[in-house]
Amino acid sequence: MLFAKSDRPDRVAIRAALSRVPNASISFDPGASQSSEGTSWSASGENGGESDANAWMELLVDGLTFDLVGLAPGPHVSGPPFAFRIDCPADIEIEDFEAIGLAPGPHLAGGANSLVVAKAMAGLAVRLADAVGKVAGFYWLPSRSVTGPSFFATTVNSWIEGGPFPALGLSAFSTDEDGALRSIGLSFFTGQEVVLPVELCSDLASATRLAMRLVHQLVLHGPLEETQVIVGPDGRQLELRPDGSGNLVRVRPI
């Protein structure tokens, strides 16, 4: 979650925000202390400064735990440069923001790529951002895509309510030098990326919509292990074929 450099929340702001987020709570707060006169929340370092305990919390939602890191006044989290910008200014860079990060807790490490975990985490991020306010965007590292807050929230909420996988936001799309269209970030969920050949990409907007439908299908059903034939949105038959390495799903019109 991206913030202007003066707007990154601290533990107190997160605690207040979580009181307005249904089905979410703090399962562990390493910076918490309780006095005999009541509850107070404080932490300090050996030299009187803020300790690392102030910079993170463990949150619980739907029985799953997630680490929230990079809270003020500690150091913010960072990552690689943005590769894709969705519903946000084309000239923004990661250096323009400070960020807090949400990631599956250690006991979820083996299932971090599962849809159940990803959906719970994305939903928590949207609800927490709405409660905190001032979120400038969401940066999904597997696809290196930054998405405007309104678009991200709309697509994630639709997904949670039974709609399509948010293929723009939790994946991205790029054209190769030969004009083929390739997904970026689908492999986080399935171990594969989908590739549309140049003959399907004369209309890039239509090709992207088709690629989004295929991403939704592959996320829903898992990696493609054998050739399949489907009917595209225009009624044309398409062959989906895993390549020799199994890392790509190649699409061709029949």
Q: How do residues 101-124 score in pLDDT, each as one tens digit?
A: 999 999 887 888 999 999 999 999
Asked if residue 151 and residue 32 are part of one domain, the reply reads: yes
* Residue finishing a domain among 133, 160, 187: 160
Are 86 and 145 spatial neighbours (Cβ–Cβ below 8 Å)?
Answer: yes
Torsion of CA 196, 202, 203, 208, to 10 degrees: 10
Residue 149 placed within a domain: yes
Q: What is the pLDDT along the chain (254 residues), one digit of tens a residue?
A: 999 998 999 999 999 999 999 999 999 999 875 432 322 222 333 333 344 666 899 999 999 999 999 999 999 999 999 999 999 999 999 999 999 999 999 988 788 899 999 999 999 999 999 999 999 999 999 999 999 999 999 999 999 999 999 999 999 999 999 999 999 999 999 999 999 999 999 999 999 999 999 999 999 999 999 999 999 888 999 999 999 888 999 999 99
Residue 165 placed within a domain: no
Are 196 and 230 spatial neighbours (Cβ–Cβ below 8 Å)?
Answer: no
* Domain count within the chain: 2
Strands 2-3 and 135-140 turn out to be: antiparallel
Torsion of CA 96, 97, 102, 103, to 10 degrees: 30
pTM beyond 0.85, yes or no: yes
End-to-end CA distance of the chain: 43
Domain extent at residue 183: 172-253
Asked if residue 155 and residue 177 are part of one domain, the reply reads: no
Are 156 and 211 spatial neighbours (Cβ–Cβ below 8 Å)?
Answer: no
Asked if residue 126 and residue 185 are part of one domain, the reply reads: no
Are 117 and 64 spatial neighbours (Cβ–Cβ below 8 Å)?
Answer: yes
Residue 187 placed within a domain: yes
pLDDT score recorded for residue 173: 98
Residue 166 placed within a domain: no
Residue 80 placed within a domain: yes
pLDDT score recorded for residue 167: 97
Asked if residue 148 and residue 180 are part of one domain, the reply reads: no
Residue 178 placed within a domain: yes
Query: Rounded distance, CA 120 to CA 102, Å?
Result: 11
**Full 3-state SS string of 115-167:** HHHHHHHHHHHHHHHHHHCCEEEEEECCCCEEECHHHHHHHHHHHHCCCCCCC
